[in-house]
Amino acid sequence: MKIKVTQLTEAAQLPAYEHEGDSGMDLRAIAPHTIAPGETALIKTGLAIELPANTEAQVRPRSGLALKHSITVLNTPGTVDASYRGEIAAILINHGKQPFQIEPGMRIAQMVIAPIIRADIERVDTLSKSNRGKGGFGSTGA
């Protein structure tokens, strides 16, 4: 699968897989930004993409940032539709107790390409029975 990518600024770096077999490509920041504890920030990548039909890009957190600095993608996964041509960015939140400094070129999120399935919605008056029934939100013991 080919994905067309435009670098909107000279600072933008193409998304890249770090290791063979990775599902996510690293996305990098183009500008410095400090995220204070409890603050959210829109961190731009300087990239725009053209996805094939019936695919989406998901902007997801990087596990190292989450574990070491309590930085994550707020709306995870952030959805990039195939028809979107604007700049890719990540909405990051600092759940930590210290300010976190973003530097240009820093890996801030990962982007996963996934197929989409569109459902046909059918309005019904009742649903079929299941073993689980209406149990949810911890009803199975977790």
Please check the confidence at residue 35 and state whether its pLDDT lies above 90: yes
The per-residue pLDDT for 58 is 98
- Strands 71-73 and 88-94, sheet pairing: antiparallel
C-alpha angle 6-11-17 in degrees, rounded to nearest 5: 65
**CA atoms of 103 and 105, how far apart (whole Å):** 6
62 annotated to bind ligand:
yes
118 annotated to bind ligand:
no
Closest by Cα among 45, 9, 8, 40 to 25: 45
**CA atoms of 89 and 11, how far apart (whole Å):** 14
Tell me how crowded residue 87 is: count the other CB atoms within 10 A of its CB. Answer: 17
Tokens of 91: 């909405």
80 annotated to bind ligand:
yes
The per-residue pLDDT for 137 is 73
133 annotated to bind ligand:
no
83 annotated to bind ligand:
no
Q: What is the mean pLDDT of residues 25-47?
A: 99
63 annotated to bind ligand:
yes
Distance of CA 71 to the CA centre of its chain: 13
Residue ranges of the domains in the chain?
4-115
The per-residue pLDDT for range 87-134, each reduced to its tens digit, is 999 999 999 999 999 999 999 999 999 999 999 999 999 999 988 777
- Per-chain mean pLDDT for the chain: 95
Please check the confidence at residue 61 and state whether its pLDDT lies above 90: yes
The per-residue pLDDT for 142 is 63
Which residues neighbour 70 within 8 Å (Cβ) at sequence distance 6 or greater? 94, 95, 96, 97
CATH superfamily of 4-115: Deoxyuridine triphosphatase (dUTPase) (2.70.40.10)
- Strands 100-102 and 33-35, sheet pairing: antiparallel
64 annotated to bind ligand:
yes
Residue count of the chain:
142
